[in-house]
Amino acid sequence: MALDRWIALVILAVSLSYGYTAFFMMDAGLPPFMRFNPIWPSTFPKVISVLAAITSLAIVLGIEKKPSGDDTGEIDYRRLKEYKIGQAIFLLVLMATYALMLRPAGFLLSTVVFLVAGAALLGERRFVILIPVAALAAGVVWYLVQQTLGIYLSPLPTFLS
C-alpha cells in the first residue's frame, strides 16, 4: 500500500474517534436549555469528522482520481530524502511556536509573524505585498472573533496591556 493510503488510514482512524466523541460524548453534558437549539456546540465537529472520514476512506479505497499515464503523483517512500522534509518540519515547529506565542506576544503580532514567516518559508519573496496582506488578515480575523463572536483575544503583547 502506498504512503498516501497509510496516511489516509491514520486520518480515518483519527476522524472516526473524533466523530465518536462528537456524536456520543459531547452532547451528554449539554444543559437542558441548549438541547432545543438547532445548532449545538458539537455540530461543527460532527461535520468535520464525517467529511474527513469520507475523504480519507476515498483515498484508502483508491476512489480518488488517478493521474493519467505513469504514477508520477505517487509518494515514493524509498526516495523520502529527496522531498523537502526539513521545510515541513520547520513549518510544524513554526506552528507550535505560534501557538506558544499567542499569549505573550498577542494575537496580532504573533499571527502576522507566523503568516509572513510561513509564506517566506514556502517561497514567497514579495514582502511589500506579503506584510500588508498578513497584517490585514490578522486584523480582520481578530475583529471578527472579538466583536462578532465576543471571544476576547489579547491583540497586544502582555507587557503592553
Where does the chain have alpha helices with state H? 3-20, 43-61, 85-105, 107-121, 127-143
- Each as own residue / partner, the long-range contacts of residues 88-97 (CB below 8 Å, 24 or more positions apart, any chain) are 90/121, 91/118, 91/121, 91/122, 94/118, 94/121
Whole-number Å distance between alpha carbons of 142 and 126: 24
pLDDT at 109: 93
Least confident of 44-53, 54-63, 73-82: 73-82
CA 110 from centre of chain: 16
Residues ≥6 apart with Cβ < 8 Å to 77: 3
Q: How is the chain split into domains, by residue range?
A: 3-82, 85-148
- Model confidence at 51: pLDDT above 80: yes
Q: Which residue has the higher pLDDT, 85 or 98?
A: 98
Decide: pTM greater than 0.85: no
pLDDT at 85: 81
